[in-house]
Amino acid sequence: MIGDITTERLIDFVYGESALLDEARWDDWLNLFAADGIYWMPLTPGQQDARLQTSLLHEDKLLLKIRIERLNGQRTFSQQPASRCHHLLQTPRVQAIDHGAGRYRLRTAFHYVETRRDEQTLYAGWFTHELAREGAHLFIKLKRVDLVNSDAAFGNLQLFM
């Protein structure tokens, strides 16, 4: 199983993950996360600790599932009509490969647009994906979203970057 984790496969994983979000395929996206996977959006530039410092978001798989249930809910009036999003990614850079441990890290610069009705909001920053191999599959252990202006005042972030 080790030999099939190529740089190209890692890069395709990141592109594929963003495509699932752009297509609002929330459950398929959630299935990319490991059981102990974390989605983290730090509040301060260069933040190193998600537990001892405040974050914009720090969610485990259960909290992500709850957010997805809200997005899919018939009584979620803030999502009628539903928000939409689009990711524009630079080519992900592979930062670390450890085939023996089945661990991989990539960093990707992005522009992300979230829109609903007449409002459109642009965010820019970097994704860090820490991936783990389980058998023949890759899973997200950590998706870190570092916004260029993470310490700015934000409205509600409706979707996932």
At 69-84, the pLDDT tens digits run 988 877 766 767 878 9
Q: With contact defined as beta carbons under 8 Å apart, do 68 and 4 qualify?
A: no
Which residue has better confidence, 4 or 151? 151
Confidence of residue 160 (pLDDT cuts 50, 70, 90): very high
Bridging pattern class, strands 137-147 and 33-42: parallel
Side-chain-side CA neighbours of 5 within 13 Å: the count stands at: 22
pLDDT of residue 1 exceeding 60: no
Q: 2-44+52-71+79-147: which CATH number, 3.40.50.300, 3.90.550.10, 3.40.1550.10, 3.10.450.50? A: 3.10.450.50
Rounded Cα distance between 132 and 34, Å, is: 8
| Per-residue pLDDT at 74 | 72
pTM for the full model? 0.93
3-state secondary structure of 33: strand
